[in-house]
Structure 1
């Protein structure tokens, strides 16, 4: 599949039925990290099959700030044959647009350092990188003001 084939990909809001389908396909991690009620999830679909997912939940930044809403990307996945074709970028773009419209100050995520494809992607999408080391898992917080 080439980037030109992206016109055949649909991006749909997930509901509980789609969540159950993804849990059956991709396993328990989806059950734990896919949000419907306390955030939103967008699924990329090609030829009727889910090929990617992004799930965002709402959080408030802690004091001393006044209540400040952020969207936290809990999971973003694209199946192997569709990676590096713009699918994840479109999922992030759609999520940033939705979070902005719903009053979020920023969109944030965590990526462990072993995700060698993800770290450059976050940077290319305009996210600030904040490396964290000396923790249980080294990696990066990434954030993008909206």
Structure 2
């Protein structure tokens, strides 16, 4: 007895020979993230801060990470200098990205993937960068 099309597609997806699930791309775009596909991973960048969700698919495992972009500190400096509430912006973006990561996790779990959420390190990197910028700005204001 042959495999159904859906089973065949799921098998192809898991061995990496099939594109990323379209529902995943659609979900990320609906949440207004800029989506790029690169060799078994999806990079979904936020528009307000250079922070991205990285979704890596390998076999039946999916790993979801949060990563700070190279220009994060420059963008944060610009926001502080223009009088924006950097802490509020950062916390809003991190909260939004965490919510999206949970939605992505659910979608991939429903597709049969074992999902690992690895967001904490990336969140800490973003918060550390924010604290540095705020401290630097406070010091320059004192001078």
TM-score bracket, normalised by the shorter chain, equals 0.3 to 0.5
Greater RCO, CA 8 A, separation 6+: 2
- Structure number with the higher helix fraction is 2
- Give the TM-score normalised by the residue count of structure 2: 0.39
User: Computing the radius of gyration over CA atoms, which structure comes out larger, 1 or 2?
Assistant: 2
